[in-house]
Amino acid sequence: LQQQLAGKRVLITGATYGIGEALAECLAETGAHLLLVARTTEKLLEVQKRVEAKGGRADIFPCDLTNSAELQLLLTKLAQQPGGIDIFVNNAGKSIRRSIFDSLDRMHDFTRTMNLNYFAPVQIMLALIPELVAKQGHVINISALNVRLLPPPNWAAYQASKSAFDQWLRSVAAELNTKGVSTTTIYLPLVRTRMIEPTPAYRKMPAMQPDAVAQLI
């Protein structure tokens, strides 16, 4: 892993909790230069300090990916970084479990999930593709197993948004692959993160730990 990643620049979204946080620490000793994106500056600083304590290198980029102005500023900052991006780990995500009958006056449930789970990674990809082609880079999409199964009730907003980016990436993957850009989607089962905490039924169900997912990535 060190041979493959030493000197490479790895962009990780959703880097302050759960899978993203565990992945940042997992990669700290590989010699990779981590570019960490999340909403909370204080939490980003904590993760950065832990990476540096292990001898790693990390730069932080506070950004609410659902805010178009902040996202555009992030892309501008990334474009100004020397060395480009070698690997993009699309990890940031939002989950909502709610009956459609409780969502009749909550159109924002759908816009929020689409903004974070679909539009944001698409916009990031559109900006990064020239760099990824030049660097023969790699895109790793952290997805959900449910995307490939029959859609369950109460998860319409989440299911549609995750499926949208999954289909988008699968569609463009062939074009990217012909230019030397690798693409990987990891369809995860339940993972023990704060995303599942609001769902009581999940609290006692078997789930992967974020550290195990980080090792898988």
Residues marked as catalytic = 158
In whole angstroms, what is the distance from residue 206 CA to residue 203 CA? 8
Beta-sheet strands, E only, within the chain? 9-13, 33-38, 57-62, 87-90, 138-144, 182-188
Using CB atoms within 10 Å of the CB of residue 202, give its burial: 0 to 12 exposed, 13 to 18 middle, 19+ buried: middle
Residues 6 or more apart whose Cβ sits within 8 Å of residue 184? 138, 139, 140, 141
Task: Tell me the sheet residues that pair with 35.
Answer: 11, 59
* Phi and psi angles of residue 40, each rounded to the nearest 5 degrees, phi first: -100, 115
